[in-house]
Structure 1
Amino acid sequence: MIQKLNTLFNGLHTFIILWATQGFSALGSSMTSYALVIWAYQQEGSALASSLLTVCSYAPYVLLSIFAGALSDRWNKKLTMLVCDSFAALCTLSVLAFLATGRLELWHLYVVNALSGLGNTLQQPASDVAVSLLTPREQYQKAAGMRAFSNSLVTILAPVFATALLSALGIYAVIAFDLLTFTTAFLCLVFFVKIPERDLSKGSEGQSSVLVAAGQGLRYLGENRGILDLILFLASINLVASVYNAALPAMLLSRNGGSQGALALVSACTGLANVAGSAIVTFLPAPRSRVRAICLSLLFAMSTENFLLALGRGTPVWCLGAVLGWLFIPVMNTNMDALFRTHIPLEMQGRVYSARNTLQFFTIPVGYLLGGVLVDRVFEPFMAGQDRGSIPSILFGTGKGSGAAFLFFVIAFAGILVCLYFQRDRHIWELEGKRND
């Protein structure tokens, strides 16, 4: 049995240490983020106010990511990760200080989230390249599946643990756990993980300015339309998904049958579905068509969950929607990750991943901002003016939260149209016959 496991995870021993400890740290960070979203919504009762937390986190990430990759290709990956993780911990400590003195305000969280996003801008490309350096090519799918699994596990545990700690001990306990997970991951990275350094900026590229190096990432994407169009596909999906994420707390914390417990259960079911999908994709062989796996996974997700959230009237239906909507997302993520790592040369990955981050994720803050505005200013006022016997009231209910439900119905169709459009993109399908060796 042990020999079989050694064969199954051959070459992944150092990666597993990094993966497990960084996943543990991500759990603490996610718990703090979850608790602060609840705190913000309870302070203001506004979807826009709470969604701005994520907007502030992603804004520096999107604006500066394209330059971060050029720096990441030059810098020591391990040292970059250690410094950025420490900076994030300092941001968490600042929140704790404001809480302890009774001076925490919503704008403080916006500033802290922006600073944390800045650190993540540099940490993410370094982490992505570190995974490639620690993982044999033949184990790319397994490593991607394991990362999807840990992300899914965090999605399950973060709301459950955060809700439990909030109820029993308060937000101080959540932050204390976050700092404990950071310390564990930091020490393991220092003492037990050796990331091999390779010259990823060869020749004249190594002497070029950061601006020129960033342009090289964009130029690579311009010359590889399949990769570029795949990124634009995900950017469009991220826009729809971010509107969903902005509206979800507003609906589940406001409408009849909703509560903090309902939000935690739906979030936990999302994580359970991700765990199940991640476990499956980790041990399955590569599909015959990675592009088809990506397209069908996203189409299934978009055509199930949003309708059930819009038309459902209780936690069981909302949980079913979460399971159906997220079960195949690990399939999409794993095959996308494998395509990127297979097609993008290792010496270009930092620059290309950062260009990808800017293009693929700029729609996330836009979606959160749009979702908050649509809930507060458009759909909730519209539903508040409807009679009980009107068709919208029959479909989506009445009272606060019904407007968010109506919005879910709209974005369901938006997501389906995006999937059908990009499924016909010939440049994406051409990736099936290409490979970087």
Structure 2
Amino acid sequence: MQVFIPIWFGQLVSQIGSGLTRFALGVWVYQVTGTVTQFALISVFGMLPGILISPLAGAVVDRWDRRWAMLLGDAGGGLSALTIALLLIANRLEVWHIYLAVALRSIFSAFQWPAFSATTTLLVPKRHLSRASGMVEMAEATSRLISPILAGALVVTIQIQGVILLDCVTFLFALITRLLVRFPKPQITLENKVQKNSLLHEIIYGWTYITARPALFGLLMFYAVRNFFIGVVSVLVTPLVLAFASTTVLGSVLSIGGGGMLVGSLAISTWGGPNNRIYGVFGFTLLGGLCILLAGLMPSVPVFFAAIFIYFFGLAVINGCDRAIWQSKVAPAVQGRVFAVRRMLSWASLPLAYLIAGPLADRVFEPLLAVGGPLAASIGRIIGVGRGHGIALLFVVMGMLTMLTTIAGYLYPPLRLLEAQLPDA
């Protein structure tokens, strides 16, 4: 843990810097274009390239020294941010530059993420993996809580280019922390000997490792389906809240969500999570679906505050338990490949969710609950009619589907009995 903490702290500082840049670039694109579609494309370009390259990145990470893979991710992200800052200073920045920069950053992150996850397994004793996962969630929660508030103040004082240059400094800090720490190497196992001469074989091996274990494959599919529903919800949080409250309230709602995630990550860091971690995943996913359902069924500011705090609290516990399951059940020597495939498949549904959420809300659900709409006289009596109520109905649907997915996952024996039947690596 003494070796893990400096690496984790460097990651925390880097994530706060990345949050500053995300906020600043989002403000810039929205101010320049005035369109939500081009704003949403930042998320698509920031995720899709990394998802596509993940299998290759995972195989490369298992071949390389994992510290150098993490250094590559930090250096690439820092150079992308520096390029954007220089273009801003020269007054030559265009929207397509941002799309290209976030796409490159996504690719570099695809190397860094599996290397960091696999390294954690080598550094942290098995009994502390849930706590380490909680600390990783704490870093993300801190970024969600601090970055928007800090970036909003810094954009006014040092302008957008100053904010992005500050992000470059945080990447440099993360680089230094990694250079100061010696990383252990994984022990040579049978899994580590799979035809090192064939990169293609190693890429495929990550997939075959998972599919040979029905419990892990079931967990992967559970996350892929759940992430689709969550992706739709995450895109529509802003328009739902703004339909019933001001932008100030929206900022408060998002900050409360970050606070909930921070409290949840602190809880799992100290508590360590339930002994049967898959029950932690099921229980808090079910609770999260209920929060989404209630936010749509009773759209109001107090409900938004309560729902988003509880949801993000549970999300920290879910992610901590899930990460600890994979780190304990997958052999350290092949975690780069396996975690990369896991990331690609579980996140593959998110860009699709981002792309269809807007049209689904604007063209289907909002007209259904417009004044005089097809469902105004039935469901409209419960939820209400008018602007935002169609999105609220979509939240109800996504919440119910999330809960049904959780029940289906629990009824699948290999997944429910994962901890008992699948031995630790």
TM-score scaled by length of structure 1: 0.88
Residues paired across the two proteins, number: 421
How far the C-alpha of 1:368 sits from its partner, in A, is: 1.1
Q: Is contact 2:273–2:280 with CA below 8 Å preserved after alignment?
A: no
1:245 aligns with 2:231: no
Identify the match of residue 220 of structure 1 among 204, 209, 229: 209
Q: CA deviation at 1:339?
A: 1.4
Q: Is the 8 A contact 1:396 1:405 kept in 2?
A: no
Tell me, in whole angstroms, the C-alpha distance in 1 between the residues paired with 2:250 and 2:346.
Answer: 27
Residue 63 of structure 2: aligned partner = 74
Q: CA offsets, 1:284-306, max 9 Å, x none?
A: 25523222111010000111145
1:347 counterpart = 2:336: no
Once the two structures are superposed, the pairs formed by residues 397-408 of structure 1 within 5 Å of their partners are 398-399=386-387, 401-408=388-395
1:107 CA displacement:
2.7
Structure 1: distance between partners of 2:366 and 2:28: 21
**Counterparts in 2 of 1:384 and 1:179: CA distance versus 1, 3 Å:** farther
Alignment match, 1:54: 43
SS for the counterpart of 1:102 is: coil
Match of 2:342 among 346, 356, 362: 356
Distance across 2 between alignment mates of 1:344 and 1:286: 19
Letter in 2 for 1:265: S
2:359 match: 373
Closer, same or farther: CA 204–355 of 1 in aligned 2, 3 Å: same
Q: Which position in structure 2 is the counterpart of 1:325? A: 311
Q: Tell me if the contact between 1:380 and 1:402 (Cα under 8 Å) persists in the aligned partners.
A: yes
Tell me the alpha carbon deviations over residues 260-291 of structure 1, each in whole angstroms, 9 at most, x when there is no partner.
x3333222111111111111212225523222
Unpaired runs of 5+ residues, structure 2, are: none
Q: What is the aligned counterpart of 2:283 among 296, 302, 309?
A: 296
Native 8 Å contact 1:27 1:154 kept in 2: yes
**Aligned residue number for residue 110 of structure 2:** 121
Equivalent residue for 1:196, pick from 184, 191, 195: 184
Q: List aligned pairs for 1:117-266, cutoff 5 A.
A: 117-190=106-179, 192-198=180-186, 204-205=193-194, 207-252=196-241, 254-259=242-247, 261-266=248-253
The offset of 1:224, in angstroms, is 0.2
How far is the alpha carbon of 1:249 from its aligned partner? 2.8
Q: TM-score, normalised by structure 2?
A: 0.91
Deviation at 1:311, TM superposition (A): 3.3
Q: Which residue of 2 aligns with 1:275?
A: 262
Residues 347-398 of structure 1: CA distance to partner in whole angstroms, max 9, x if unpaired?
Answer: 1211111111111111111111121332344445555665798664983563
- Structure 2 matches for 1:38-117, cutoff 5 A? 38-117=27-106
Q: Do the aligned partners of residues 137 and 367 (structure 1) sit closer, same or farther apart at CA in structure 2, a change above 3 Å counting?
A: same
Structure 1 position 19, deviation (Å):
0.3
Greater mean alpha carbon deviation, residues 281-290 or residues 388-397:
388-397
Task: Pick closer, same or farther for the CA change 1:432–1:362 going to 2, 3 Å.
Answer: same
Unmatched 5+ stretches in structure 1: 1-11
CA offset at residue 405 of structure 1? 3.3
Alpha-carbon contact 2:409-2:416 (below 8 Å) kept:
no
Q: What is the identity percentage for the equivalent residue pairs of Structure 1 and Structure 2?
A: 27
Q: Is the Cα–Cα contact under 8 Å of residues 54 and 340 in structure 2 kept in the other structure?
A: yes
Tell me, yes or no, if the aligned pair for 2:85 and 2:162 is still in contact at 8 Å: no
Structure 2 residue matching 1:304: 3-state secondary structure: helix
